[in-house]
Structure 1
């Protein structure tokens, strides 16, 4: 009995000792690979959000690229060919490229190089396969333990690491430079996008990655983290999806019109804008100067958005704004008679002329026939400060607040530094500067019942699946309704003179004003001109405000007057709105 107990105890001790040796062996094996009972963290980086057109097309998105690397101190070179064969299959790399990788590995070995990058241009699909491969070869002895500089034993296998995040422009140069761009900058061992211009910069807080996926805890034997109360987990939240008011189909059509016109007029640039008059949402903002998103350095000037960053003297398109201010001040009426002196008038040291010489005309015909002399006569009915304050009510010389960075304010002299003769020339568009977007927003007042709205490119965003409308509630009454209606009627009369009505599609209500002005550089007028058209096109249910700017057309080609350049472009724009069903002609 006593002997049997001793045998039993001996067996128990033997089994216990054997079990202890087994555990020790397991611990020894996995401690070499640094994978047992240790803290481990895993991080999957969130990506920058998409920019999407109003008709549902993704314009800009993000694409991750990964790099694959190994530590040559861990690599069993007897199994190098076997490893590279597997790597080529999982990474979709052909044999010729694998051959180059092998040559570079052998060169790196001779230099006693430790870390080696196999490839740094791996897409997400291949990266997922390679991560699977990395797990499978943990037990294949392709990678062996080595002693590091800290005298610790470790094994480093195949590592798949996020390398950079590229911004992809899926519609090539469409809407550039409004979309803007970003530059890659090395941050935390990853090339991240730093926004520099356009919507990318303005909405960076929304578009940038919000939260990475992170998990940390104790590693299990299979190199997986054991989830328990001591683990840490955070969700991945990508940057927002930014939804624009821009209609891609219309945008591309107007860009084509701008590019053809720019070539035809041999101009520096052609800009076209279309607003929904109700809320000032921008349906299209096209330019002939669009950069190649994959070769931005070819012409750096193309990176600028001229619609908001280029200021110029507007010429006669300012006359309706000055005229409306006089109506508002009750200094004139539309039908009072104004002397225009046969089309020639001495103003200080200069003689100004009209293209439609008359001895006199009713006040509203000063706008219809674009009389500089008439504008001088009626501007004498107000003070310098009243004229300048009137312009500023329309945000001329002030930033509009459009959702783009680097918007210019233009320039208007202070009233106390402006002479009366300067006031007279300011009344017909000289002596100050504005921007295309300022004039587009100002003309929208005439088609929106006297109310000023801030032009907006983006309408909403969604983040983590939650949709949010962007606030565009700001509005300002600039003109009383009755005066806005009068100006609307006068602009329709202006655009539908016998010489102009042929341009417009039948059944659409078109109003607007042309303007041509010399280019002023550093206070001196050159031989170049800028040509504008601003106005509107309406049907029974829709109202759109339209602007066209032709910068420095070659006068030896088609001419430089706005009626020869900007107005025909505006006609093409309105016909495009009809073709794309934004406007429905009423033939009755």
Structure 2
């Protein structure tokens, strides 16, 4: 055979060999891929969907701090049937490092599960950062063959470490701040075994539906061989929508500073509780609503139970003398007081003492004797005397000039026996006598005991917030405002405010200004003198009342100071109530409002100055 033909034949043989070799490799590769797909088959169908869990909305202070927020939590699980027991130690050590769960705890769970192998949840409460780390570990464990495939009819399956969303966790970053107003939540399980939360008290309860108005995200489509969803025009993509956010009128810094003041005075006064609030007199915006009794919503203990209620709206008490300006304003508004009129002090019995003072007044009403605490140096009182020295006898004489229906309707108009409209749940309304009880003796034009006692704040109950709302009229031309904690609701980056907040004209501007004058005089010359601060217009009224329990008055007291503070631009109505301050021993006088509620009021006003909510004309804060 010629050499050129032989050479040609060899080339053909080499090409044929190479062809069959490549074909062989290709067949082996196809078989290998097919076998791998069969061996690690995980998904029963081509179509799949994945949900992205939405979470509850945030509660945010006016200065943009998150008071309450929700974070996703994840669960990590394995199926111990697939765990290679020879590599159990390796898995436990790696999982403990990545999850920060104690080694011993993981070993105990796995050993218990291996007695009856199956699905095992290693943790339900993994944060998002740890979950991300564990998902990285999941791929490493596959490469290390920590889990082994199990034969099943039609092939093999393999299940390793699984990290998935398990629900949400409510986080209160500032712990006790703004409680009990912010409220607390409870957990519940959805039909898909996800942990969700709902509000039980406070803002969490009142706005529960809005906070939980969320929608889970959905991703659905066909899967590829690696279990990834491939998207096309037939796929579904819905982004998750979290619940609405509440943006408050309350700034965090002012609230925390006020709470610090309450903590100091609660210890000093040994009080059961101190409640304060600062409200914009024109708009009703609550800038601060604080209690000395607070709790951490994430860790509620048995001894926290008495602190769970918002006592500013849920605790009903006899308010005492802080009601006097309201009763007096009703008489003024009906023109029942003459200009420069004098009122008998009922203190002319007995002898004048060495200081020229008459005995304290004593007024007989049916079988009751009503007395004054202040000792006057004269037999007759002006309206200013009655007001600034808090005369029970003078006040009840003014109340008797109103008919029963006038007095009853006037008290209701000021907001008593009605909810204030504040955006908190479980608000109480207090109690006053019925209209017919106020009307007894109207025809005979004789004194009525119910009008008398209610006029100085006994024989009735109210809440702290009802009194605060009533006092807003004296600093707002006779108009009461509706207290509001939430400024607006934010849904999907859109802001929504309440359409209309009802404010109510309850007395004339002239009457309101007269009471305002008297409240200012009470601070400059009367029982509220310690509330003065240079450069600011401050007015207010003290009130001290005994606590009634089981129909009897106790040797326990509630001291209050309600009033206002104004500068050239801002106008605030402020209330302070001290429940059961010390009233024995060397500090027995602390139960008087002038020694308890008034100093707290002054510190709250100082806070407003320091944080630039108020600007004194001379920029000096009195000590």
Task: Please report the TM-score for the alignment, with normalisation by the length of structure 2.
Answer: 0.85
Match of 2:244 in 1: 240
Matched length: 572
Matches within 5 A, 1:63-142: 63-92=71-100, 97-98=102-103, 100-109=105-114, 111-135=115-139, 141-142=145-146
Match of 1:555 in 2: 583
Partner SS, residue 230 of structure 1: coil
Q: Residues of 2 paired with 1:62 and 1:170: CA distance?
A: 11
Change (3 A) 1:36 1:481: same
Partner SS, residue 262 of structure 2: helix
Q: Residues of 2 paired with 1:411 and 1:141: CA distance?
A: 74
Change (3 A) 1:529 1:30: same
- Cα deviation for residue 581 of structure 1 reads 1.8
- Cα deviation for residue 78 of structure 1 reads 3.4
Match of 2:345 in 1: 340
Q: Residues of 2 paired with 1:37 and 1:141: CA distance?
A: 26
Q: Residues of 2 paired with 1:137 and 1:520: CA distance?
A: 69
Q: Residues of 2 paired with 1:574 and 1:199: CA distance?
A: 26
Q: Residues of 2 paired with 1:71 and 1:365: CA distance?
A: 83
Contact 2:523 2:531 in 1 (8 A): no
Q: Residues of 1 paired with 2:382 and 2:139: CA distance?
A: 87
Matches within 5 A, 1:268-287: 268-287=272-291
Match of 1:178 in 2: 181
Contact 1:65 1:120 in 2 (8 A): yes
Residue 571 in structure 1 maps to residue 574 in structure 2: no
Residue 373 in structure 1 maps to residue 393 in structure 2: yes
* 1:496 pairs with one of 512, 521, 524: 524
Deviations 1:521-553 (Å, cap 9, x if unpaired)? 233222211111100011111111110001111
* 1:167 pairs with one of 153, 165, 170: 170
* 1:157 pairs with one of 137, 160, 175: 160
Change (3 A) 1:244 1:558: farther
Match of 1:516 in 2: 544
Change (3 A) 1:487 1:333: farther
Q: Residues of 2 paired with 1:184 and 1:176: CA distance?
A: 19
Q: Residues of 2 paired with 1:65 and 1:319: CA distance?
A: 55
Q: Residues of 1 paired with 2:328 and 2:436: CA distance?
A: 22
Matches within 5 A, 1:1-80: 22=30, 26=34, 29-30=37-38, 32-35=40-43, 37-80=45-88
Match of 1:392 in 2: 412
Match of 1:299 in 2: 304
Contact 2:362 2:371 in 1 (8 A): yes
Q: Residues of 2 paired with 1:482 and 1:498: CA distance?
A: 22
Residue 308 in structure 1 maps to residue 316 in structure 2: no
Partner SS, residue 293 of structure 1: coil
- Cα deviation for residue 414 of structure 1 reads 1.9
Change (3 A) 1:24 1:332: farther
Which stretch of structure 1 is more off in the superposition, 499-508 or 111-120? 499-508
Task: Supply the RMSD in Å over aligned alpha carbons.
Answer: 2.8
Contact 1:368 1:491 in 2 (8 A): yes
Deviations 1:393-443 (Å, cap 9, x if unpaired)? 111121101111111111123212455211211111111110001101110
Deviations 1:325-381 (Å, cap 9, x if unpaired)? 122222224632222222221111121111233422223432222111111211111
Partner SS, residue 165 of structure 1: strand
Q: Residues of 1 paired with 2:148 and 2:452: CA distance?
A: 87
Change (3 A) 1:26 1:413: farther
Match of 1:5 in 2: none
Give unpaired runs (5+ residues) of structure 1: 1-10
Change (3 A) 1:125 1:366: same
Q: Residues of 1 paired with 2:155 and 2:226: CA distance?
A: 21
Match of 1:446 in 2: 474
Change (3 A) 1:294 1:520: same
Larger Rg: 2
Match of 1:580 in 2: 611
Contact 1:212 1:236 in 2 (8 A): yes
Match of 1:200 in 2: 204
Residue 479 in structure 1 maps to residue 507 in structure 2: yes
Q: Residues of 2 paired with 1:454 and 1:299: CA distance?
A: 30
Deviations 1:113-142 (Å, cap 9, x if unpaired)? 301123333220121232244356557654
Partner SS, residue 433 of structure 1: coil
Matches within 5 A, 1:406-425: 406-418=426-438, 419=440, 420-425=448-453
Contact 1:558 1:564 in 2 (8 A): no
Deviations 1:430-483 (Å, cap 9, x if unpaired)? 111100011011101111111111101110122222233344532111122222
Match of 1:321 in 2: 326
Match of 1:3 in 2: none
Residue 259 in structure 1 maps to residue 263 in structure 2: yes
- Cα deviation for residue 499 of structure 1 reads 6.3
Task: Please report the TM-score for the alignment, with normalisation by the length of structure 1.
Answer: 0.90
Give unpaired runs (5+ residues) of structure 2: 1-18, 348-360, 441-447
